[in-house]
Homo-oligomer: A and B are copies of this chain.
Amino acid sequence: MFGRTHYCGEITDQHIGEEVVLKGWVQRRRDLGGLVFVDLRDRTGIVQVVFSPETSKEAYETADKVRNEYVLDIKGRVVARSRETINPNIKTGTIEIQANEVTILSAAKNPPFTIEDRTEVSEDVRLKYRYLDLRRNTMFETFQMRHNITKSVRSFLDEEGFIEVETPILTKSTPEGARDYLVPSRVHPGEFYALPQSPQIFKQLLMVSGFDRYYQIARCFRDEDLRADRQPEFTQIDIEASFLSQEDIMDLTERMLKRLMKEVKGLEITEPFPRMTYAEAMSRYGSDKPDTRFGMELIDVSEIVKNSSFKVFANAVAQGGQVKLINAKGAAGQYSRKDIDQLAEFAARYGAKGLAWLKVEDGELKGPIAKFFSEEEQDQLKKTAEAESGDLLLFVADKNSIVADALGALRLKLGKELGLIDDNQFNFLWVTDWPLLEYDEEDGRFYAAHHPFTMPFREDLPYLESEPEKVRAQAYDIVLNGYELGGGSLRIFEKDIQERMFKALSFTKEEAEEQFGFLLEAFEYGTPPHGGIALGLDRIVMLLAGRSNLRDTIAFPKTASASCLLTDAPGEVSQSQLEELHLRLSVEKNG
């Protein structure tokens, strides 16, 4: 074997006349006019190699035997292609390699799917043969981008004086939050480690240590029922700093993302990013992570219709709810009654009991409910909704939360269907002033909207016991194109406030002490004000690489049932392994 001189995809006209050594996989082999053509692929792309019996009979005969996905070692000369054989679809389309030596390094069976960017095969097959799936150039490019993203982040944070510190993966179970993955201890019978849902407590302890500026590209774990965009293990860019204000941390994040967009996507984005309070986001977009690449905002018409003869609307307002609409500009013609029925079904998934609608024709509101509104009400509706002929108005009347959820989801659906979204646009947005606590009807208690260490607004502290739902948090989420990229907050650094927070979360003094006693104690030894942010790396990669699915951003992902189809994890273990861990199964296993 001889050393590679170039990657396949990097050979250009500049190399004509040079002797090169290439290593790669056979994308395709063709026999044509007494020659063998091999498209040779490596992680950078494809180059055409020509074997002629006149150049080397031996190489020609070897090449004649190769099949798709064979691994070859090739020596040859770069030559220009004749004008009629130039292939403008590939980077190396103006040249080809005249091979004079070839070695088959590894043969290959016929793969279960062809290695091409667009593959029709099911995702299950792709995941089982992940090592073949990853051969597709589009996959490698995604991981190259992931590498570039972490590189950009690391170099930015390094320049800003942050040091990367690794925190433990084997740590303590903290039942608050999502479900923990547990790891039984062999040395301590009946005891368990937990895998961290985030390095939250450790990064705060590093602030107590005076590390001042910490970051970590950190693996985190949540044993939750998986949705399309969740994985049992995920990676976050985890940042914490002392002595910074919320403004400082937001500014730092903006500069990091600005540089990232420049270095990774070649795009200039402007800072400061737009900001919106949580209340405003919910009101205008029905979402705490608005996609601001298009309008079609939610419009409150409760005041206009509260006395109308349309009882559904009037009652909703009377019962403390709302009536809101979205105006699908110019879409009246595109949505038949049947289509609108389907939109209503869609809205129902978000709890909406119905979806009322009106179309504007020749300046007039038309539709089954039009008759319930007086002329004045109709005029006001049109004015408020900025409704013009051809517009479709869609209404939901319900409790505020249902109105927001249903219209927020409808807005996104219509935005896509009507082609209002520019895929090349990257709209960053801060959502601020979150509620500190959320009431859970089912459990009859408050949960932390972010996490239990989030600092309340100082001026709201007096309400922490009396009206907890009123208390706002010094928390901020960063949103990109309707996805939550991450969130952060200033943290509580005073023991007494932290104790009040635990109490608001229905911890007894003993529970708080048992689970977080070490943190409360740490706060007593001189704790700096501190705060931070965590950004989901997988999601950043997904959005920047233009992928639709988090699994495409993770080299060896799990399925929705948390299985690895490649290695067949999880799997059974031996009786002796269980015994060492002081465990018995409470289920019967075969084998």
Contact = CB atoms under 8 A, between A and B. Distances in A.
Contact of A135 (B42, B209, B219): B209
A307 interface: no
Contact of A189 (B129, B164, B193, B587): B587
B42 A212 contact: yes
Contacts of A181: 170, 183, 193
Interface residues of A, number: 123
A554 B168 CA distance: 9
A527 B25 CA distance: 9
Nearest to A162: B147
In the A-B complex, the 10 residue pairs with the smallest Cβ-Cβ separation, listed nearest first, are A108-B526, A134-B209, A172-B569, A69-B526, A191-B570, A147-B163, A185-B570, A189-B587, A131-B208, A190-B589
Contacts of A108: 524-526
A447 interface: no
A1 B192 contact: no
A108 B24 CA distance: 63
In this complex, the member of A131, A167, A248, A581 whose beta carbon has the largest number of chain B beta carbons within 10 angstroms is A131
Contacts of A193: 181, 569-570
When all copies of this chain in the complex are counted, the total is 2
B585 A528 contact: no
A195 interface: yes
Given A243-B4, A583-B584, A573 B182 contact: yes
Interface stretch (A381-389, A453-461, A543-551, A560-568): A560-568
A558 B169 CA distance: 11
Contact of A170 (B4, B26, B233, B586): B233
B524 A171 contact: no
A522 B150 CA distance: 29
Interface string A142-174: 011011001100100010000111111111110
A494 B558 CA distance: 28
Contacts of A146: 165
A333 interface: no
